[in-house]
Structure 1
């Protein structure tokens, strides 16, 4: 398939991905990709292009963004691209904050989704992941459940597509998660791409990833692993929260314009 970019005329179909690290692709490490990550959205776009039709793709997501930042920075930019398909997941970073006004946040989310629907685009949203078995995030499970109830109501009211992450038991397998325990691994992003394509009713020729058997670890090894994780991942994450810095500071969107050049 010959690659072509946005300069070669309008695309018949236009997929725009909005959100935070989940949609940017953090955890799916790929040095050849913008921002050093690939991710499920890039994989979905590549499959759509392979399936045929004149698809253009833009990914405006940036890691660390809270919901209001996603709306302020990405919504108008997305609408300017006249999308025919939009995927959006936002609010996960808000849920992790010490204090969050969930009802107010979801009112703003609904307003944004209404604008996307009114543009004529097909809109696909996500429920949050069930973190009941994740020690660090177990305390936020109730917030995520409330978030999900709002999402399901909006799906019904606005006739949105839904990727129901909460009920995807496959992702309780921690081999599908990055060592930071916050983001999907390469294998996890591959499975998420397949889940999204299923919701879209699109052909999927992505190979299922092979998972290695988890190593048997002793109690001392588990303890060392926890200490290493705390030093390498938890401490930097907490430090960013305290200093009000973001992992996405100084980053730009991976694909701000419609393209078929997905590295």
Structure 2
């Protein structure tokens, strides 16, 4: 089996939940991104899994991604750590393991910041504030790791379009079709700009 040209690792955001095809399968940003980048379906490998944490990625997905490593790799993971399995030191170590392992001169690795998902959820104010503090910490760690590993970083947390409900599905946790499409387009733009700068 030939190596994939694009591999995506992570949780249900990567799996594609919230963006459902007519046959009931998930489309998702990863498939949309691959099409935008001219990567065929058979050259795309999506390892995203529902409820995956950073520990799940380290334990089960990272090895698969490193075997016949793709030249283009996307990683979106961490929200499940923040909302249901919170251990800040482990979270930071796992992010460094994931992005440090994937980094390399022959690979473009990209990720995105954690948007204000707590704002989308029906939560008591105190718990929402607690989650927002966790998300802020996670974004600080992610920025450091991206800088250390030369990982491309799309800062959707700073994009006001992601702070409303228009790009989110009814559950508030997953992008809807418009959200997945917007994410794919913005990420493709970031990767293409970085490729152009590198080539220059």
Q: Does 1:165 align with 2:165?
A: no
Q: Name which of 125, 130, 147 aligns with 1:156.
A: 147
Q: Name which of 171, 175, 179 aligns with 2:166.
A: 175
Question: How has the CA–CA distance of structure 1 residues 78 and 119 changed in structure 2, closer, same or farther, with 3 Å as cutoff?
Answer: farther
Contact 2:58 2:98 survives alignment (8 Å): yes
Number of the residue aligned with 2:73: 86
Number of the residue aligned with 1:38: 27
Output the CA distance in 1 between the equivalents of 2:86 and 2:105: 29
Number of the residue aligned with 2:48: 61
Contact 1:29 1:186 survives alignment (8 Å): yes
* Bigger Rg, structure 1 or 2: 1
Output the CA distance in 1 between the equivalents of 2:69 and 2:52: 23
Shift of 1:132: 5.8
Number of the residue aligned with 2:15: 24
Number of the residue aligned with 1:112: 98
More helix by share: 2
Q: Does 1:75 align with 2:66?
A: no
Output the CA distance in 2 between the equivalents of 1:82 and 1:90: 19
Shift of 1:133: 3.2
Output the CA distance in 1 between the equivalents of 2:20 and 2:192: 27
Contact 2:117 2:173 survives alignment (8 Å): no
Shift of 1:163: 1.2
Write the deviation string for residues 87-135 of structure 1: whole angstroms up to 9, x where unpaired.
00111101002x6221221112102211111483211122101236334
Shift of 1:199: 1.0
Structure 2 residue matching 1:184: 3-state secondary structure: coil
Question: How has the CA–CA distance of structure 1 residues 135 and 27 changed in structure 2, closer, same or farther, with 3 Å as cutoff?
Answer: closer
Contact 1:18 1:89 survives alignment (8 Å): yes
Number of the residue aligned with 2:138: 147
Contact 1:130 1:167 survives alignment (8 Å): no
Structure 2 residue matching 1:201: 3-state secondary structure: helix
Structure 1 residue matching 2:38: 3-state secondary structure: helix
Contact 2:18 2:174 survives alignment (8 Å): yes
Provide TM-score, normalisation by structure 1.
0.66
Provide TM-score, normalisation by structure 2.
0.85
Contact 1:40 1:190 survives alignment (8 Å): yes
Shift of 1:175: 2.1
RMSD: 2.3
Write the deviation string for residues 207-239 of structure 1: whole angstroms up to 9, x where unpaired.
xxxxxxxxxxxxxxxxxxxxxxxxxxxxxxxxx
Question: How has the CA–CA distance of structure 1 residues 135 and 78 changed in structure 2, closer, same or farther, with 3 Å as cutoff?
Answer: closer
Number of the residue aligned with 2:197: none
Structure 2: gaps (5+ residues) = 194-200
Output the CA distance in 2 between the equivalents of 1:174 and 1:149: 24
Q: How many residues align?
A: 188
